[in-house]
Structure 1
């Protein structure tokens, strides 16, 4: 609270004015960060190392004061874009023991299943959102930070879930199931896909009850350590079954300090000490990513190529995935193969392989006399009619 009382300018540094400003400011200019830290425990995320596993939160009064400052800004249109943080719906410590003894060294709060000591409570977060809604000049308060859906479902009360759907979704809600294969989810430190399915079904049901037409935007990740091509095929087929067409997906890349990075470089799960499969080949990573966006015509040939990496089970899943989908044309495939082999057309600027320039209009009437082993010489005015 003391830090947020400081007189910040609430914009980018003036030095960027000469460069045209910073467009990204638009996303955060009218947003409020109400917490720090995360006890989610995702193996690929570095947030716990930057901000800690223990959640600390600003007081409701501090957040309301910031909302009042935002509402007084001349370009504010009445919409608070986000009241969130690393995880939007974490407001308190995971349990009372954490307050007294700190975070557990050998346990996680939410995975593989919620700890028996976990206290999932959104009541204070509801009070915070309600208080900001009542600030003069505020028309709507949205939540655009990621919502931890397993923590939401662990709350015995559905009061926040209902309020979220009713008041705080700006057309689409972002969540992060990341994958559907149990093998991959366990290495990611994420809950089983059945938990996401329960959340998705309830979200859709609440939208229907409230007459809302709001969507889910699930974050998905390809080629995380432990993910085989069979796992990627399973995820692709899962997106088809739930009617999802991902526009943006993230390919795993190693982030300093995370457990997933250890897996990527060593091929060993540091928690179990067991060896795991890791996709480090660039082409294989491309193929796993292409499977997530299998609906794109330019990815079809890559899907057929991915079958070479699959077991019989994986091949059957890809066949089911492609059922009713037109295969890539031979003409397109041949062109792609040529480009892959390095025969991509190159702009030559009229020069031949021996370095000499081709005379323009080759094979047609031309105003240029081509002399072997010499530069082309212009003979004067062009023949024929002028172009008007």
Structure 2
């Protein structure tokens, strides 16, 4: 928002100013936009400052000081991940920055933006930090950039309160409390600092205790991970020097009806003209004609931060809400007829779960899905998804609907009632050239640490997919994501993946990334502690850049070998299989 836009609305001072490390895209895919629209729907005047310069006061002072609070977020991605590769090299491009050159978001963006506000607004209204960077760094955490345990970001940012998780309920309560001049120190879904530990809250080992003791850090993380990430979790406190970080219990989950209302807010599904004028925003091409069906993920992959931020419980929008959004999208000028993605963190978790998940109190003794298999109490949602997709295909103006979010193939295989029908519909109508899956590895020793399905499950799905694609006469393929140098993975394990890809997947993966230790994940705790924080099992991790790159290069060498084999095929004939090769013609 610009000063001119404020004047046009007759506003001399906004109630809330949100500061973001991303260009402003008014879409439910972007957290800042969701928080802004939710506050606006409650009657607050909200302004946004996108990617303010740190070198001058021009951007941060352009709209003046808000009446109630500043809301500060690094953006859709932790700035350490947005700005650095797994090997610590600067990333040159950014999909959320106009012009795509990655030169607008600072390292440790949440901290830097808080410092920027305090530099030009002394004794200002409260600073509220949120978004995934703040959420993952809310307690003492391992930081790859410094290769050390850092204290809660709330202290380093010198903010007044931290909102963790998705944040709608907590932010509204903060706004209401400040408007009514009430205290904001006891709001669910937030962290604050206090001089004393609160009665009835559970103690986590102090920052000083875990800073230089990996075993103590692992025990602290295990306590936090097992008990703090679900509805009904107790409050915690963690001492940092003379002060206490107070981690209040989670805010209530949104209901499906509330999620429908959020997605029914007047999003423009476009970038603000000021941001758009600065250059192409690549993320916009993907999310403009995409639809979110649900939030949350019970996959509980060890390396993934989604569960820590969104929770394990699936909150699905109603079919009518999704249909209404697509109808509106199809009526817009310039709509091509193609929905680029329909899904969520995992596309085929829509409408699935169990009674415990629906209450926000999942089992603590096992994972819902993963290496150990599918929990027998899990209720699949493929039947509802088949119905939803059929209804969407029948809408006027809708030509193609693609599912690009990725799917959990173990869920499809486990659903004897609707799994095959869902996959058949996917193959026939909803795959654009290739279907993305995420086995991540094939060595069962590594998959167990990742909490991913076994290699046998992956091979079984690959066979089924090829058979179904052939039966539907669809020339579509599988593609997959692979992680190199995950804790427990060695170069020999990556060589095993090359053999697995040749014989079972029948293609060599193109998308290989080196494991990045992000705060507050189980895999990061393994990486730092040298053991699994939940089981105590000793886990070796590759920590040298040379060793990490060597694991990634193993798959690259496999791809080059495959290309050489294809080039050796006689003109007009079938390729010759090298002696002993398990590849199929």
TM, length-normalised to structure 1: 0.75
Aligned residue number for residue 215 of structure 1: 477
Deviations 1:61-108 (A, max 9, x none): 111111012111222111111110000001234223433572112211
Aligned residue number for residue 278 of structure 1: 541
Q: CA separation in 1, counterparts of 2:502 and 2:547? A: 21
Is 1:174–2:433 an aligned residue pair?
no
5+ unaligned residues in a row in structure 2: which ranges?
A: 1-259, 562-577
Cα separation, partners in 2 of 1:291 and 1:323, compared to 1, 3 Å? farther
Match of 2:513 among 243, 250, 257: 250
Q: CA separation in 1, counterparts of 2:434 and 2:263? A: 29
Deviations 1:81-140 (A, max 9, x none): 111000000123422343357211221111211112122231111121122112210011
Tell me which stretches of 4 or more aligned residues in structure 1 moved more than 3 Å.
295-298, 321-324
Q: Once structures 1 and 2 are overlaid, which stretch shifts more, 257-266 or 115-124?
A: 115-124
| Larger Rg computed on CA atoms | 1
Deviations 1:29-73 (A, max 9, x none): 111000000001100000011111000011111111110121112
Match of 2:412 among 152, 156, 161: 152
Aligned residue number for residue 383 of structure 2: 123
TM, length-normalised to structure 2: 0.50
Q: CA separation in 2, counterparts of 1:256 and 1:3? A: 28
Deviations 1:118-166 (A, max 9, x none): 2223111112112211221001111111101001111112211111111
Q: CA separation in 1, counterparts of 2:309 and 2:475? A: 37
Deviations 1:314-345 (A, max 9, x none): xxxxxxx9989xxxxxxxxxxxxxxxxxxxxx
Q: CA separation in 1, counterparts of 2:439 and 2:310? A: 22
Q: CA separation in 1, counterparts of 2:528 and 2:401? A: 43
Alignment of 1:225-244 (within 5 A): 225-241=487-503, 242-244=505-507
Is 1:26–2:307 an aligned residue pair?
no
Aligned residue number for residue 85 of structure 1: 344
Equivalent residue of 2:481, what SS? strand
Alignment of 1:330-369 (within 5 A): none
Q: CA separation in 2, counterparts of 1:155 and 1:248? A: 28
Q: CA separation in 2, counterparts of 1:274 and 1:122? A: 36
- When the two structures are aligned, how many residues end up with a matched partner? 303
Deviations 1:335-372 (A, max 9, x none): xxxxxxxxxxxxxxxxxxxxxxxxxxxxxxxxxxxxxx
Q: CA separation in 1, counterparts of 2:555 and 2:309? A: 30
Note if contact 1:267-1:276 (Cα within 8 Å) is conserved in structure 2: yes
Equivalent residue of 2:482, what SS? strand
5+ unaligned residues in a row in structure 1: which ranges?
A: 299-320, 325-388
Pairwise CA distance, 1:240: 2.9
Match of 2:400 among 140, 160, 163: 140
Pairwise CA distance, 1:277: 1.1
Note if contact 1:225-1:278 (Cα within 8 Å) is conserved in structure 2: yes
Note if contact 1:221-1:250 (Cα within 8 Å) is conserved in structure 2: yes
Q: CA separation in 1, counterparts of 2:360 and 2:499? A: 44
